[in-house]
């Protein structure tokens, strides 16, 4: 498992589209499996699940991307899973880390630095 979390700034819808494009276009086998678009009052949240084939691991890897906006703040949580073939201990997480890297360039454009 690999995880990437941070606070972003900018237009929520544009950030989501840019992240979605980066994932789907970042790998030949990447697909958007499903998503939920939720809101309560001024709070917006989009949860999207992606999947792709990991050549290094010889299996499929999933990535859950959650983007939430509330009170003028945008938070991102991206978590990958499934890139190991080990039965008891994770030996190889390259596929998971590689999948997570497909969004890093886009996310860094919107990342809030303090």
Distances (CA, A) of 52 to 34, 79, 102: 13, 14, 11
Between residues 63 and 55, which one has the greater pLDDT? 63
Sequence-separated contacts (24+) of 7-13 with Cβ below 8 Å: 7/73, 7/74, 7/75, 7/76, 7/111, 7/112, 8/67, 8/74, 8/75, 8/76, 8/107, 8/110, 8/111, 8/112, 9/74, 9/110, 9/111, 9/112, 10/74, 10/110, 12/44, 12/67, 12/69, 12/74
- pLDDT at res. 53: 86
What is residue 91's predicted lDDT score, i.e. its pLDDT? 52
pLDDT digits (tens, 9 = 90+) for 16-55: 999 999 999 988 899 999 999 999 999 999 999 999 987 6
């Amino acid at each position: 498992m690999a995880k990437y979390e941070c606070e972003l700034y900018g237009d929520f819808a544009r950030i989501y589209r840019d992240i979605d494009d980066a994932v789907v276009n970042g790998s030949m086998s990447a697909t958007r499996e499903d998503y939920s678009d939720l809101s309560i009052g001024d709070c917006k949240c989009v949860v999207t699940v992606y999947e792709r084939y990991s050549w290094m691991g010889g299996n499929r890897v999933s990535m859950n991307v959650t983007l939430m906006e509330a009170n003028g703040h945008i938070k991102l949580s991206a978590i990958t899973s499934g890139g190991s073939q080990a039965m008891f201990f994770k030996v190889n997480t390259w596929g998971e880390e590689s999948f997570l890297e497909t969004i890093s360039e886009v996310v860094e454009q919107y990342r809030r630095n303090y």
